[in-house]
Amino acid sequence: MLTRRQYVPLPEWAIPLCYAIAALFAGLAVPRLEHRFLPQLTSSLNTAVGLTLLSSITSGMIALTGIVFSLALVMMQFSAVAYSPRLVLWVSRDPIIWHSIGIFTATFLYAIGAMAWIDRAGSGRVPVVSGWLVILLMLASVGMLVALIQRIGLLQINRMLAFTGNLGRQVIEDMYPPFETPSSTAGSHEFPSLAVVQTVGHSGAPQTLQGIDVGTLLALAIRSGGTAEVAVSVGDTLVSGTPMLRLQGGRDVVEDKIWKKAFRVGQERTFEQDPKYALRLLVDIAIKALSPAINDPTTAVQALDQIQDQLLRLGNRRLEVGAFRDAQGLLRVVVPLPTWDDFLRLAFDEIRLSGATSVQVMRRMRALIADLIATLPPERHRALEHHRKRLNITIARAFADEEDKFEASVEDRQGLGTARICR
């Protein structure tokens, strides 16, 4: 279902900021409350040892914070170079990174506040509660450092591909009903007789369409008495003047700014309503691995494993869900969504061309298409047969030697593993 999420996610930079504010408040309040209400509770440590302990923790937190930043930068740089620059956004949003920075900052700030109350006014006291809180924060910092180092394992190719595939599987599950669900696609006869009475265009700097709130569009279309045809797809880049919506056959014109409230735009693509984005990232990883600079066809084969799963799930879903009607059955909103052909073109064409001379990639692609034909409903077979034909033409053109051509035409799920008899 195309709908806008009602919550606004907390920006990543706000996470360490919240930790810092909480630590400053606690550093000012907790030692003061302890001094006033628990004057008899003192530590057996002398003031020199207490100051040395807290000052060591304070300086150590600065070093750990530097390590966190270094690891974060390495993770983002590595993912951009080895996989895809579009994955940098999702790696950088890992909550472990930002919570680690927050806990290290909180430990540093609270330790400074606790140090101010050691030997306060020559009392010779070392606060017990504040001291233990610093120790607990330090242990939490060590735990977050271990978790952050473990997170580097995400950069392994299998985990990165699985991470991307999981995001794609989630959006497919959320957007598309089972294949048995009746199609809601509008008939082409419903549009020609309706005149366009209003066109809503984008204004301002280029931005990416991240989501559409169909509920809002449906209510506005009913209010206007017409049919709202969305003119852009989720994932499109909108430049000034790009038509976003056309109102057909309406009686009342709604202000453009009200229509625009149903569109969420931002600086980058997101997965929420963009089922092609996960495929885009998987294809990016595959074709980068097939580039002459890297020349790693095995990574491309592993990306094709995830691509097959995405296509299998899409093929078993009803993709024609872009028409929305009111309670009386009148067509009110039409949203363009990717077709089965669109998904296959994105999944196959670039990898087929980039890996045309790789026996391993050609064999894996033949096995992928054969498996989809054997599994998916007959309605999906025609497009798959077309891409199998294109794959055969590519093999015939790329390999001059007949034996190489035969080897590349074998179906093999591992690329170069266990061959199957070609169908």
Structure tokens at 372: 């989809």
pTM over 0.75: yes
Burial class for 257, CB neighbours closer than 10 Å (0-12, 13-18, 19+): exposed
CA distance 419 to 423: 12
- Paired sense of beta strands 207-212 and 263-266, if any: antiparallel
CA distance 24 to 342: 53
Structure tokens at 296: 């790693």
Structure tokens at 301: 């084969």
394: CB partners within 8 A, 6+ apart: 352, 353, 356, 362
Give the pLDDT of residue 417.
Answer: 84
Give the pLDDT of residue 193.
Answer: 62
* Count of C-beta atoms within a 10 Å radius of residue 349: 14
CA distance 285 to 95: 24
Percent helix, strand and coil across the chain, each rounded to 5? 60, 10, 30
Give the pLDDT of residue 66.
Answer: 80
Which amino acid makes up residue 98?
A: W
Give the pLDDT of residue 357.
Answer: 93
220: CB partners within 8 A, 6+ apart: 228, 254, 258, 259, 262
Region of 102 on the Ramachandran plot (φ > 0 left; ψ -120 to 50 alpha; else beta):
alpha
Q: What are the strands of the beta sheet with 237-238, ordered from one edge? A: 237-238, 207-212, 263-266
Backbone Cα Rg of the chain: 29
Residue 31: CA atoms inside 13 Å, Cβ hemisphere, count? 23
Q: Residue 229, SS3? A: strand
Give the pLDDT of residue 6.
Answer: 45
406: CB partners within 8 A, 6+ apart: none
Ranges assigned E (strand) in 258-375:
263-266, 323-325, 331-334
Give the pLDDT of residue 188.
Answer: 43
CA distance 120 to 122: 5
Tens digits of pLDDT across the chain (423 residues): 565 454 445 677 888 899 999 999 988 888 888 877 777 776 667 778 878 888 888 888 888 778 777 777 776 776 667 677 777 677 777 788 888 888 988 999 988 888 888 867 666 777 888 888 888 998 998 898 888 877 776 677 888 888 889 999 999 999 999 988 776 555 444 554 678 888 999 998 999 999 999 999 999 999 988 999 999 999 999 999 999 999 988 777 889 999 999 999 988 888 888 999 999 999 999 999 998 888 899 999 999 999 999 999 999 999 988 889 988 888 999 999 999 999 999 999 999 999 999 999 999 999 999 999 999 999 999 999 999 999 999 999 999 899 999 999 999 999 888 876 554
8 A C-beta contact, residue 87 and residue 160: yes
Give the pLDDT of residue 126.
Answer: 75
Structure tokens at 90: 């999702």
Structure tokens at 16: 């360490």
Structure tokens at 130: 């504040």
166: CB partners within 8 A, 6+ apart: none
Give the pLDDT of residue 189.
Answer: 44
Region of 152 on the Ramachandran plot (φ > 0 left; ψ -120 to 50 alpha; else beta):
alpha
Q: Residue 29, SS3? A: helix
CA distance 375 to 28: 65
Give the pLDDT of residue 187.
Answer: 46
CA distance 153 to 176: 32
Largest distance between two CA atoms of the chain: 92
255: CB partners within 8 A, 6+ apart: none
